[in-house]
Structure 1
Amino acid sequence: MNSKDTRTQFLNFFKGKEHKIVPSAPMVIKDDPTLLFTNAGMNQFKEYFLGISQPKSSRVVDTQKCLRVSGKHNDLEEVGKDTYHHTMFEMLGNWSFGDYFKEEAITWAWELLTEVFKIDKDSLYVSVFEGSDDADQLKLDTEAFNLWKGIVPEDRIIMGNKKDNFWEMGDQGPCGPCSEIHVDIRSKEDKAKVSGASLVNQDHPQVVEIWNLVFMQYNRKADGSLENLPAKHVDTGMGFERLCMVLQGVQSNYDTDIFTPLIREIETITGSGYGKNEEIDIAIRVISDHIRAVAFSIADGQLPSNTGAGYVIRRILRRAVRYGFTFLNTKEPFMFRLVNVLTDSLGDAYPELKEQKQLIENVIKEEEHSFLKTLDQGLLLLDTIIKNTKGKTVDGGKAFELYDTFGFPIDLTALILSEKGYQLDEAGFNAAMQKQKNRSKSASEISKEDWEVLQDDNEQEFVGYDMLDVEVKITKYRKVVSKKDGTQFQLVFNLTPFYAEGGGQVGDKGYLEDTHGDVVYITDTKKENNEIIHFAKNLPKHLGESFKAVVDKKQRSRTEANHTATHLLHQALREVLGKHVEQKGSSVHSKYLRFDFSHFSKMTPEELQEVESFVNARIDGHLQLQEERNVPMKSAIADGAMALFGEKYGDAVRTIRFGQSIELCGGTHVKNTGDIWQFKIKSEGAVAAGIRRIEAITGDAVKDLHIDNDKLLSKIKVVLGNTQDPVRSVSGLQEENNNLKKQVAELLKDKAKNLKGDLRSELKEINGVQFLAKKIDLDAAGIKDLSFEMGSNKDNLFLLFGTEQNGKALLSCYISKELVASKGLNAGTIVRELGKYIQGGGGGQPFFATAGGKNPEGINEALAQAESYLG
Structure 2
Amino acid sequence: MDAKTIRNTFLNFFKEKQHEIVPSAPMVVKNDPTLMFTNAGMNQFKDYFLGNKIAENTRVTDTQKCLRVSGKHNDLEEVGIDTYHHTMFEMLGNWSFGDYFKKEAIAWAWELLTERYNLPKDRMYVTVFEGDKDDNLEVDAEAAEYWKEFIEEDRILLASKKDNFWEMGDQGPCGPCSEIHIDLRSDEDIAKIPGKELVNADHPLVVEIWNLVFIQFNRKADGSLVSLPAKHVDTGMGFERLAMAIQGKQSNYDTDVFQPLIQHLAKKAGVTYGNDEKLDIAIRVIADHIRAITFAIADGQLPSNNKAGYVIRRILRRAVRYGYTFLQFDAPFMYELVDILAGQFNEVFPEVEAQKDLIQKVVKQEEVAFLRTLEKGLKILNDLMDTHKSEKVIPGREAFALYDTYGFPFDLTSLIARENDFGVDEKGFNEAMQEQKNRSREDAASERGDWMVVHEDDAVEFVGYDATNCHARILRYREVTEKKKTIYQLVLDQTPFYAEGGGQVGDKGTLTSGEEKIAIFDTKKENDLIIHFANKLPSNLEQEVYCEVDTARRKLTENNHSATHLMHAALQEVLGEHVAQKGSLVNDQLLRFDFSHFQKVTDEEIAQIEKLVNEKIRENIQLNEQRSIPIEEAKAMGATALFGEKYGDFVRVIAFDKDYSIELCGGTHVDATGQIGLFKITSESSVAAGVRRIEAVTAEAAEAYINEQLALLNEVRELLKNPKDLTKSLTDLTEEKATLTKEVEALRNKELQAMKAAIVQEAVQKEQYNFIAKKVSLPNAQALKQLAYDIKAVVDNVFLVLAADINGKPQVAVMIDEEVVKTASLHAGQLVKELAKEIKGGGGGQPFFATAGGKDINGLDAVIEKANGLA
Shorter-normalised TM-score: what interval?
over 0.9
Counterpart of 2:778 in 1: which secondary structure?
coil
Question: 1:595–1:695: 8 Å Cα contact kept in structure 2?
Answer: yes
Conserved? CA contact 1:576–1:610, under 8 Å: yes
- 1:272 CA drift (Å): 2.1
Q: Is the 8 A contact 1:175 1:220 kept in 2?
A: yes
Secondary structure, counterpart of 2:8 in structure 1? helix
- Structure 1 residue 501: deviation in Å? 0.7
What is the alpha-carbon distance in structure 1 between the residues aligned to residue 51 and residue 652 of structure 2?
24
Q: Please, what TM-score do these two structures have when normalized by structure 2? A: 0.93
Taking the aligned partners of 2:708 and 2:151, their CA distance within structure 1 comes to 80
Q: Is 1:471 equivalent to 2:508 in the alignment?
A: no
Q: Distance in 2 between matches of 1:453 and 1:521?
A: 21
Structure 2 SS opposite 1:580: coil
Alignment of 1:548 onto 2:549? no
Q: Return the alpha-carbon distance in structure 2 between the equivalents of residues 840 and 699 of structure 1.
A: 52
Report the equivalent of 1:606.
604
Give the Cα–Cα distance (whole angstroms) in 1 for the partners of residues 825 and 98 of structure 2.
68
Give 1:581 shift.
1.3
- Any idea what the Cα deviations from partners look like across 1:387-429, whole Å, max 9, x if unmatched? 1113122211111111111111111111111111111111111
**Local SS of the residue matching 2:267:** helix
Name the count of aligned residue pairs: 866
Measured after TM superposition, the shift of residue 696 of structure 1 is: 1.1
Distance of 1:604 and 1:198 partners within structure 2:
68
What secondary structure sits across from 1:317 in the alignment? Answer: helix
TM-score, length of structure 1 as denominator length = 0.93
Mapped to 2, the partners of 1:837 and 1:694 lie a distance apart of 50
The answer to whether residue 642 in structure 2 is matched with residue 644 in structure 1 is yes
1:773, 1:866 within 8 Å by CA — same for their partners in 2?
A: no
Distance 1:103 1:773 in 2: 90
Cα distance between partner residues in 2 of 1:255 and 1:122: 23
- Aligned with 2:476: secondary structure? strand
Structure-1 residue corresponding to 2:52: 52
Q: What corresponds to 1:778 in structure 2?
A: 779
Cα distance between partner residues in 1 of 2:819 and 2:686: 38
Equivalence for 1:421: 421
> Aligned to 1:459, what secondary structure does the other structure show?
coil
**1:213 maps to which residue?**
212
| Counterpart residue number, 1:196 | 195
Partner of 1:687: 687
Letter in 2 for 1:31: N
Unaligned runs of at least 5 residues, structure 1: none
Map residues 687-706 of structure 1 onto 2, 5 A cutoff.
Answer: 687-706=687-706
Q: Is the 8 A contact 1:387 1:824 kept in 2?
A: no
Q: Deviations over 1:253-296 (max 9, x none)?
A: 00000001100100111112210111101000000000100001
Letter in 1 for 2:247: Q
268-277 vs 715-724, greater mean Cα deviation = 715-724
Alpha-carbon distance, 1:746 to partner: 2.2
| Of 762-771 and 408-417, the range deviating more from structure 2 | 762-771
- Alpha-carbon deviations, 1:776-818, whole Å to 9, x = none? 3222443344344345446777777665556666677778789
Tell me the alpha carbon deviations over residues 38-91 of structure 1, each in whole angstroms, 9 at most, x when there is no partner. 000000000000000011100000000000001110000110000000000000
Which stretch shifts more, 165-174 or 136-145?
A: 136-145
Q: Is the 8 A contact 2:261 2:337 kept in 1?
A: yes
Local SS of the residue matching 1:99: coil
| Alignment of structure 1 residues 92-131 onto 2, 5 Å | 92-131=92-131
Structure 1 residues 596 and 821: alpha-carbon distance in aligned structure 2, compared to 1, 3 A threshold: farther
- Counterpart Cα distance in 1 of 2:628 and 2:403: 51
Task: Give me the identity figure in percent.
Answer: 56
Q: Which residue of 1 aligns with 2:496?
A: 497
Superposed, which structure 2 residues align to 1:241-256 within 5 Å? Answer: 241-256=240-255
Q: Following the alignment from structure 2 to structure 1, what is the Cα–Cα distance between the partners of residues 814 and 190?
A: 68
Matching residue of 2:285: 286
More deviation in 125-134 or 724-733? 724-733
Counterpart CA distance in 2 for 1:622 and 1:841 is 63
In structure 1, distance between residues paired with 2:757 and 2:548: 77
Distance, in Å, in 1 between the alignment partners of 2:521 and 2:2 is 53
Q: How does 1:221-620 map to 2 (within 5 A)?
A: 221-389=220-388, 390-483=390-483, 486-516=485-515, 518-620=516-618
Output the amino acid matched with 2:81.
K
Q: Which amino acid aligns with 1:777?
A: L
* SS of match in other structure, 1:42: helix
Say which SS state the counterpart of residue 602 (structure 1) adopts. Answer: coil
Q: Unaligned 5+ residue runs, structure 2? A: none
| Equivalent residue, structure 2, for 1:621 | 619
Distance in 1 between residues matched to 2:865 and 2:18, nearest whole Å = 78
Q: Take 1:558 and 1:696, find their aligned partners in 2: how far apart are those partners?
A: 13
- How far is the alpha carbon of 1:707 from its aligned partner? 3.8
Once residues 842 and 634 of structure 2 are traced to their aligned partners in structure 1, the CA distance between those partners, rounded to angstroms, is: 55
Question: Amino acid of the residue matched to residue 289 of structure 1?
Answer: D
SS in 1 for 2:41: coil
1:669 aligns with 2:669: yes
The answer (yes or no) to whether the contact 1:775–1:860 under 8 Å persists in 2 is: no
Distance 1:828 1:362 in 2: 40
Which moves more between the two structures, 88-97 or 337-346?
A: 337-346
Instruction: Tell me which amino acid in the other structure corresponds to 2:668.
Output: T
8 Å CA contact 2:282–2:327 kept in 1: the answer is yes
Q: What residue number does 2:628 align with? A: 630
- AA partner of residue 618 (structure 2): D
| 8 Å contact kept, 1:776–1:801 | no
Query: CA offset at residue 460 of structure 1?
Result: 0.7
Secondary structure of 2:213's counterpart equals strand
RMSD across aligned positions (CA): 3.1
Which shows bigger deviation, 671-680 or 89-98?
A: 671-680
Change beyond 3 A, Cα 1:836–1:70: farther
Structure 1 stretch displaced more, 828-837 or 626-635: 828-837
| 1:729 CA drift (Å) | 6.1
Amino acid at match of 1:509: K
Deviation per CA, 1:721-774, whole angstroms, max 9, x where unpaired? 688876676556545544443332222111111111233355677977978685
Q: Secondary structure at the match of 2:473?
A: strand
- Alpha-carbon deviation of 1:709? 3.4
CA–CA distance in 2 between the matches of 1:826 and 1:339?
A: 47
Q: CA deviation at 1:602?
A: 1.1
CA offsets 1:662-700 (integer angstroms, 9 cap, x no match):
111111111111111111111111111111111111112
Instruction: Quote the Cα distance in structure 2 between the aligned partners of 1:272 and 1:822.
Output: 44
Instruction: Give the deviation of 1:829 after TM superposition.
Output: 11
